[in-house]
Every structure is written in C-alpha cells, then in structure tokens.
C-alpha cells in the first residue's frame, strides 16, 4: 500500500533532500579555503530545492502572531549564543585558524540564511512531527505504530506545539548528529531549546528566527574575538 499523501514517508524527500544537499556540497573540500564557492553553490542548489518543494511543506506559521514569534525567537537565539560557545569550549576546542575576509563573509551569510531553513524544516518540522505521530499511534494501541505513523497518518494532523518525550530527544539527537563530535552536547541542547520554542509558540517561525540569529551572532563573535575554534 502506498504511503498516504501528507504522511511522513511521502514527505521525507521534500524535507530531507535540501539538508542532504547542503551537507554534501562542501563535504569534499576545505571549507575555510573554498567558502565562497561552496556557499554560492549551496545557495543555488539548496535554494532551488526549497523552491521546487515549496508546495509540499506545511505552513511555517502557527496560531500566534508570526511577527511576535520572530521577535521571541530572535531573543532566544541571541541568549543561546554564549551558551553554545561555553559548552563547545568545555567539551572540545578546535584550533583557532582564522578565516579570510571574503570566506568569513560567505559563511556568515550562508549559515544565517540556509541552515535555519533546512534544519528547522527537517528536525523540528518533519522529525519532531513524526515522533509525535508515533506517540499518538502507540497511545491509540496500534498494532504497528511505526507503519501507522509513517505511512497512514499525516503531518498536518500534528497540533501546533504538540510534543512527546521521545520525539524531543530523537529529533534533537538527529540534529546533533549533523554537527562535529565536539559540538554534539551543545547541538543536542540547542535542539531541545528549539523544540521548546515550538512548544511555546506552536510554529517554526520562532525556531527559524532563533537559529538565524544564533548563527549570525556566532559569526560576529568569532570575528570580533578571534576565537575561531568556536565556529
């Protein structure tokens, strides 16, 4: 039986492919010395994928004001930046290898625009929503909860702000796995924080705003402080 329209399985590629393309582009080159080329390619390819799949995504807005969510998210993202730096420094510090001006600008701009979109769509949109559907299926006593959640339920059935403990942990762990090992604790905690925004605001606007501000603030921090290893 084919997966139902709107089910997590039917929406896996629209949500996952932009992220996979983002990771793949630049994986085989030194990002610090080829940042301009890598981020230009990411902008074209990943941006094209987001545009191509735009009609498949669930709304980013929720029941509350999108403008208020953007402001709340920006504040949370700014406050989360020093916590990210401190946790990464406590776990593992990369060498402080400075980036050139144009390479820094390319990464600062690229990381502020693209990862907040592709990562929040995948991890707080698809993964968290799938985990919630799985929790619903288990609570309903489904004989095959995984198939029920992945193939026969729709992500549009997930209420704004809905969550389940396993969904929070699994989506945050997947988010952390996409980072360097030294950043895993910080990324896992940040993933939980983004889940908290989803619970509090019931939308992805707040998560995307927070993520963008954190990435921008981190870029400015390493530039001003010279602590490039935190990046």
pLDDT at 3: 76
pLDDT at 229: 79
Instruction: Mark the ranges of the chain whose per-residue pLDDT is less than 70.
Output: 1-2, 92-93
Q: What CA–CA distance (Å, rounded) separates 131 from 176?
A: 16
Q: Are 96 and 191 in contact (CB under 8 A)?
A: no
pLDDT in tens, 36-63: 999 999 999 999 999 999 999 999 999 9
pLDDT at 62: 96
pLDDT at 95: 73
Task: Write out the DSSP string of 78-117.
Answer: HHHHHHHHHHHHHH------PPPHHHHHHHHHHHHHHHHH
Q: Are 80 and 193 in contact (CB under 8 A)?
A: yes
> What are the structure tokens assigned to 205, written together?
């606007």
> Looking up tokens 């704004």, which residue turns up?
160
pLDDT at 46: 98
In this prediction the pTM is 0.95
* CA end-to-end distance (rounded Å), the chain: 46
Taking each helix axis from N to C end, the angle separating 66-91 and 184-201, rounded to the nearest 10 degrees, works out to: 160
pLDDT at 28: 86
Residues 6+ apart with CB under 8 A from 105: none
Q: What CA–CA distance (Å, rounded) separates 71 from 208?
A: 11
Start-end of H helices in 30-65? 35-52
pLDDT at 79: 97
């Amino acid at each position: 039986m084919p997966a139902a329209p709107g089910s997590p399985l039917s929406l896996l590629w629209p949500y996952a492919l932009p992220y996979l393309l983002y990771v793949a582009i630049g994986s085989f080159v030194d990002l610090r010395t080829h940042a301009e080329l890598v981020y230009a390619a990411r902008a074209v390819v990943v941006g094209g994928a987001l545009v191509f799949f735009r009609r498949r995504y669930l709304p980013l807005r929720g029941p509350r004001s999108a403008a208020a969510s953007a402001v709340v998210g920006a504040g949370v993202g700014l406050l989360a930046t020093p916590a990210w730096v401190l946790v990464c420094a406590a776990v593992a510090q990369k060498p402080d290898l400075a980036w050139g001006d144009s390479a820094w600008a390319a990464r600062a701009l690229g990381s502020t625009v693209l990862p907040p979109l592709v990562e929040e769509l995948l991890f707080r949109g698809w993964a968290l929503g799938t985990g919630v559907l799985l929790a619903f299926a288990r609570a309903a006593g489904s004989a095959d909860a995984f198939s029920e959640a992945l193939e026969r339920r729709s992500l549009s059935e997930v209420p704004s702000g809905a969550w389940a403990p396993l969904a929070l942990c699994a989506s945050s762990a997947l988010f952390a796995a996409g980072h360097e090992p030294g950043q895993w604790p910080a990324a896992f905690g940040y993933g939980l924080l983004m889940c908290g925004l989803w619970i509090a605001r019931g939308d992805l606007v707040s998560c995307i705003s927070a993520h963008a501000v954190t990435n921008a603030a981190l870029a400015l921090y390493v530039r001003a402080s010279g602590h490039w290893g935190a990046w």
